[in-house]
Amino acid sequence: MVRVEFVRRKLHLISDDLSMLLRFKDETLESLTDDDMKLAAVERIVERIVMRAVDANEHFISELATGKERTSRLAYRDTFLMLAELGIYPKDFAEQIAKSAGLRNILVHDYNDIDRKILHGSIRDCLKDYHKYLEYISDFLESGSQQETGQELKIQSK
């Protein structure tokens, strides 16, 4: 049973993080990399956004998937792809947003050679992709059912 309050809490936290990330949208690469605090803030905010989405993804998968993927541990990237298979959002969007899991892995595992240009460029992508993610998940919750399968979505409010 999908716990709507749990998912909505994750969406709210992602939205809050997106508001914080928005502050860095117009930073130049130089201003970001010259300020360790700004750089650390962007890294952490992006990491939190991705992980909160993965938490929501894993919840949907555990409640809605019917095959092996329901019981096996998927890579973070694959959780985004699986939501497309569950009819929550389109496959092309899943492929786009799944890329953020790779950036998250680089940040978490503290690869010193991370290309700061990639992190800088990811700010706008993250803002765009995760705003869409919020919309798709909210729309799915509002619909109360899986569009492609016609399967009724069992919802638990609390």
Give the model confidence (pLDDT) of 28-52 as tens digits.
999 998 999 998 899 899 999 999 9
Tell me if 11 sits within 8 A of 138, measured CB to CB.
Answer: yes
Q: How confident is the model at residue 66 (pLDDT cuts 50, 70, 90)?
A: confident
Task: Report the 10 Å Cβ neighbour count for 17.
Answer: 20
Cα–Cα distance, 153 to 63 (Å, whole number): 9
Q: How confident is the model at residue 151 (pLDDT cuts 50, 70, 90)?
A: very low
Cα–Cα distance, 157 to 19 (Å, whole number): 26
pLDDT of the residue at 71: 54
Complete domains list, the chain, with CATH: 2-156 (1.20.120.580)
Map tokens 């938490």 to a residue: 55
Burial annotation 81-114 (CB, 10 A radius, 16+ → b, else e): bbbbbbbbbeeebbebbbebbebbebbeeeeeee
Q: What is the pTM of this model?
A: 0.84
